[in-house]
Amino acid sequence: MEFPIFVIPLFVLFLIWYLTFSATRLDRLHQRVETSWANLDAILQRRASLALELTHFPETDPAANLLLTSAAHHARAADISVRSEAESALTTALILLRQEGWLVEKYPEIFEEL
C-alpha cells in the first residue's frame, strides 16, 4: 500500500494555517493584556490624584494628611514590582480617613470615586 503524495502538502498547509491562527490569537491576547494594564494604571493614577486632593482640604487632620500624602506619592511613583504594596498602603490610608466619617459626609462625591 502506497502513501498518497497529496497528504504531505495538505498536512503542511494545515500546519501553516494552524500556526498562523495561533499567532494571530496570541497577538490579540497580548493587545488585550496591554490595554488592560494601561487602563488599570490610569485608574490607579487617578485614585492617587484624588487622594492627594484630599490632603488640600483644611479640615483634614495633619497626621492623616501626612500619611495620605506619603502613601499617594509612593503609589504614583512605585515600580511595577512594588506597586501592589504601595497601592495597599494607599488603601489603608484611605480606609483610616474614611473611618473619621465627617469628611465622607462633607465630600461624598470624592469618596464615591475612591
Distance CA 46, CA 114 (A): 9
Distance CA 66, CA 55 (A): 8
Along the 114 residues of the chain, how does pLDDT read in single tens digits? 677 888 889 999 999 999 999 999 999 999 999 999 999 999 999 999 988 888 888 877 788 888 889 999 999 988 888 888 999 999 998 888 888 777 777 777 777 766
pTM of the model: 0.72
Distance CA 109, CA 28 (A): 37
Distance CA 80, CA 34 (A): 14
